[in-house]
Amino acid sequence: MNVVVFGSTGSTGRLVVESALSAGHVVTAFVRDPKRMPLTHPNLRIVKGDAMDPAAVASAVQGTDAVICALGAIPQAKGDRGRRQPSVPVCSVGTRNILAAMPQGRGRLIVESSVSVGESYHTGSFGAGFMVKLALGEVMADKEEQEAAVRESDCDWTIVRPATLTFKRARGNLKAGTDLRWNIISTATRADVAEYLVKILDDPATYRKAITVRN
């Protein structure tokens, strides 16, 4: 598959690129700063652009088979914290630009969202959904708008909602489900989530579903 990864220099996005290349896909990494993409591979193409720029997004998406969106406004890695974009709706605006660039009624889109968004607000135990939104209100509001845009589209979309992401090694025991319970201490390794995002690229059973994942 020809796959475009948005947010590809982020902590999860970079692992998505690695996983997709390992799975034999041809990958386009969409980046604001090419210097932040250290990977090299015969099947890797690096495209410079900003997800907030519709023309740049459309150019990257053209002719591809699938899109994985791992956009985020608040990078967690120490080296990335200077790239945070508070009050910038990166997720919702960037995703709308992606959707506008995809062929109408066609195309595969996988979007990384978060627990507490959408129905997962109610599957959080002991008020976990409320606590996440209290702590990250602006970010979660952006993701709510992002998910709403995806749900209104006609493409073969899947929304993936990880629990709190960690930098630990892959554990290989990721649980996934549309009504999966989670709590405030639930976690998911970025490596496991990245592998899952790639694994479901050609899985029709996940089409038009919002799936919670945790270790």
pTM of the complete model: 0.92
Q: How many domains does the chain have?
A: 1
Taking a C-beta distance cutoff of 8 angstroms, is the pair 10, 70 a contact?
yes
Q: Please give the structure tokens belonging to residue 67.
A: 């899109």
What pLDDT score was predicted for residue 85? 54
Q: What CATH number should be reported for the domain holding residue 74?
A: 3.40.50.720
Domain that holds residue 168: 2-214
d(CA 42, CA 11): 22
What pLDDT score was predicted for residue 74? 55
d(CA 120, CA 162): 10
Listed as ranges, residues in the chain with pLDDT below 50 are 75-77, 80-81, 83-84
Give the up-direction half-sphere exposure of residue 31: CA atoms within 13 A in the CB hemisphere.
21
